[in-house]
Structures are given as structure tokens and as C-alpha cells.
Amino acid sequence: MSNSEDEKSDQSQSGEQEEEQEEQQEEQSEEEITPEITEKERKKQQKLRRDAERFKEDQDNRGIIYISKVPPFMKPEKVRYIMSQFGEVDRIYLTAESSERKNARKKRGGTKKTCYLDGWVEFKDKKIAKRVALTLNATKVGGNKRNFHAEFIWNIRYLSKFKWNHLTEHKRRKDQTRQDKVRTILSEAKRENDVYMQRVDAAKMITAMENKKKEEKQEKIDTKKTETLARKQLEDLRSKFRQRDTIEDTTPVKQT
């Protein structure tokens, strides 16, 4: 009995050893196949990580100033030219006036140029952005005295911890809000138009019914007038041509 148990235990141990050897061989074969692939992936991941770190560092180093009132009819190119004299400028966004305001000015005989209300300027160095805001705020645009914007006063503020993606997100939400308002206005206008058309159709139907009643009433009146006139004419005719009195025939009848 003990011999059989020993043989079984030896067989089980040998089977486990064989399984371990197979697993080791598979691991070795995988290690031989994948080192080149994993190395490429590791280098790719490192490169992506470095690019992301450089991008984040570049974005963190940028600074944005806010111009609360852009000089009248000053173009974005002119704003970039002025701001670029202090440091490297990347992106500029100016809010244009509404088309209704521009059309109203044109009707009054004003200029056809586009007027910008406010704007944002992104510098690649936030230190320069702070310096520009402190230097230019509450000062004149300056330049040639014949320059249209020479006497205009800058109103500039540095936006701390404000990034360009915040501006794009704000603009997207603003546009979405505007689209929602337009959609709401259009739906209300459509609903009001549908109600109006329903009332118009109802008014047309009521008017048609009233006209039909008037026509029937007028037809009855005309018929009655015609009958009365015909009766009168008949009576007049009878009064003019009276029938003579009948005379009895007294001639005896001959018998055959």
C-alpha cells in the first residue's frame, strides 16, 4: 500500500515539474520575442510624456491680457503690431460688434468699417503680459498725432491663472447659449404663427358661414319680393280686365 502511494506522489511531482518547465520555456520564448517591441513602446511613451510636459510647461508660462475696450475701428493686425513691440504674441481674439449695430450706423451715414468691442491677447511669456498690463493701462495709445487712435486711453488688465482654453470654452458656451436662445425664439415664433394661422382659418370659416347665411337670407328676401311682385302684377291684370257677367243660355234644346 505504501509503495503505491509513493509511486503516485512521484508521478504527481514529476507532472508538476514538467508543467513548471513548460511555463518557464513559454516565458523565455515570450521574452525572446517581445524585448524589441516593449523597447519601442517604452521610447514612444517617453517621447509622448516629454512632449506633454513641454506643452504643459509652455502653456503654464503663457499669459493673457484683457482689453476691456478696443480703440474704435482698430483692427486685430494693428493690435498685434502694437503688442508685439513688447514681446512675442501668439493668439489674439477681438469681439466684433453685432451686425444690427453696424447696419444701424451705416444707415445713419457712418463708416462701413467693423468696430471691435473688447479683446484678449496671449503672450508666450506671462511676465511680459504682466508688464504690458501695468505699463499700458490708463495710458494713451500714442504715436503720430495724426493717428486716429493717438488720444485713446488703454484699459488693460492681466488675467491671472487664465488660459486660452478657458476663453474658447467661454465662447463655446456663449455660442451655445445664443443658439439655444435663437432656437427658443424660433420655436416660439413657429408656435405663435401656427396659432395665428389656426385663428385665420377659423375666422375664414366663420366668415364663410356668415356669408352663406346672408346669401340664404337675401335669397329668401329676393324670392319673397319676387312672389309679392308677381302677385301684385296678377292682381293689377285682373283689375284691368274684369270678367263679364255670365248670361244664361235660354235657347231650348232641340230633341231628335
> CB of 116 within 8 A of CB of 95?
yes
CA 29 to each of CA 19, 20, 35, 37: distance values in angstroms, whole numbers, following the listed order: 15, 14, 11, 14
Q: Identify which has the larger pLDDT, 163 or 252.
A: 163
Q: How confident is the model at residue 33 (pLDDT cuts 50, 70, 90)?
A: very low
CA 210 to chain CA centroid, Å, is: 46
Q: Which amino acid, residue 18?
A: E
**In this model, does residue 35 exceed pLDDT 60?**
no
> CB of 140 within 8 A of CB of 150?
yes
Q: Which amino acid, residue 182?
A: V
Query: pLDDT over 70 for what percent of the chain?
Result: 75
Per-residue pLDDT reduced to its tens digit, 144-157: 777 888 889 999 99
pLDDT for the residue 120:
94
How high does pLDDT run on average in the chain?
81
> CB of 154 within 8 A of CB of 132?
no
- Kindly tell me the burial class for residue 119, based on how many C-beta atoms sit within 10 Å of its own C-beta (0-12, 13-18, 19 or more): buried
Could you tell me which of 121, 155, 123 has the C-alpha nearest to residue 140?
155
**In this model, does residue 28 exceed pLDDT 80?**
no
Q: Identify which has the larger pLDDT, 163 or 182.
A: 163
Q: How confident is the model at residue 256 (pLDDT cuts 50, 70, 90)?
A: low
56's enclosing H/E stretch is helix 35-61
Most confident of 132-136, 179-183, 195-199, 214-218: 132-136
* Cα 139 to Cα 154: distance, rounded to the nearest angstrom: 6
Q: Identify which has the larger pLDDT, 231 or 29.
A: 231
**In this model, does residue 247 exceed pLDDT 60?**
no
pLDDT for the residue 253:
57
Q: Identify which has the larger pLDDT, 97 or 11.
A: 97
Q: How confident is the model at residue 14 (pLDDT cuts 50, 70, 90)?
A: low
> CB of 163 within 8 A of CB of 59?
yes
For the ranges 35-49, 55-69, 219-233, which has the lowest average pLDDT?
A: 35-49
**In this model, does residue 111 exceed pLDDT 70?**
yes
* Cα 85 to Cα 128: distance, rounded to the nearest angstrom: 11
- Cell 280686365 belongs to which residue? 241
**In this model, does residue 34 exceed pLDDT 50?**
no
Q: How confident is the model at residue 132 (pLDDT cuts 50, 70, 90)?
A: very high
pLDDT for the residue 76:
92
What would the mean pLDDT of 213-227 be, rounded to a whole number? 87
Q: Identify which has the larger pLDDT, 226 or 27.
A: 226
| DSSP code for 249 | -
